[in-house]
Amino acid sequence: MSVTEKLSARLPALSERVDRSPVVAVVKLHGVISPTPTPLARGVINLAAVEPALTRAFGHDRLVAVALAINSPGGAPTQSALVAERIRQLAGKHDVPVLAFCEDLAASGGYWLACAADEIYAHQTSMVGSIGVLSAGFGLTGLLDRLGIERRVHTAGKHKVRLDPFRPEKQEDVTWLAGMHRQLHEQFVDWVRQRRGDKLPAELADAVDADDGLFTGEVWTGARALELGLIDGLGTLREVIGERYPDAKITVAEPRKPLLARLGVGGP
């Protein structure tokens, strides 16, 4: 036997060496949803930060599903919508199912992201929901006077400055803010209804302003969220993927961390 033949006999066939297993790509969506990342922030979600990871995840050969690992208290509504819309675009383009897994928390914008999936799962102890809108600030009226500081603000346009923390709150501004909240809340509710459809109990899904409805801003455990139709089942990513795709290889496409976070600065 020649040397070539001996080597060929020892080496496995090419078809055996190439892994042809189906792939489930996992995208980690961890942290606050914000349009402005910081050098220290390890977990900031926005379209610019996560789109490369989403593109890698949906671009895999032999892709059978994409899993979203979500751990987020929410944040900016526009970025929540942009990321969710991009997920739906890629899912349609590549014709693969998307499964969301709520870890510790999928609240507010975090649940908005979860609704981009075809199916949503959570642990029974996960915190899920908070379908509402929040804004908060401080009233510092009189502070600058006590410090002997004169603040100068010059504007063109009657409503250029609203809810100035250094001026007494005006009812006109509070009414304007409440109107903005209502509009954003309605958009959030419409998105949840669109994505969850008849999985939501009709008597709860139709009541936007009811004290005991789905859209009060309340947060529920995963077990209760399942009863309310906000999720499709209880289970972890590995459990569900392992049962549904037992032969699949799991790969992780994680958004790139800021520089200082990659150097180990800014928390665990």
Task: Check which CATH number belongs to the domain holding 57 and give it.
Answer: 3.90.226.10
Element at 109 (helix H, strand E): helix 109-114
The residue range of the domain holding 235 is: 21-130+218-268
Predicted TM-score (pTM) of this structure: 0.85
Residue 191 forms part of a structural domain: no
Contacts (Cβ under 8 Å, ≥6 apart) of 208 = 185, 186, 189, 215
Separation of CA 212 from chain center? 25
Residue 118 forms part of a structural domain: yes
Tally of domains in the chain: 1
Q: What is the mean pLDDT of each run of 10 residues along the chain (268 residues)?
A: 57 55 96 80 85 96 97 96 98 98 98 98 98 86 81 84 81 87 94 94 74 87 97 97 95 72 49
Cα distances from 111 to residues 69, 199, 247, in angstroms, run 12, 15, 29
Residue 228 forms part of a structural domain: yes
Residue 28 forms part of a structural domain: yes
Residue 239 forms part of a structural domain: yes
Residue 256 forms part of a structural domain: yes
Residue 171 forms part of a structural domain: no
Contacts (Cβ under 8 Å, ≥6 apart) of 105 = 71, 72, 73, 126, 127
Six-digit token string for 136: 């908060």
Residue 153 forms part of a structural domain: no
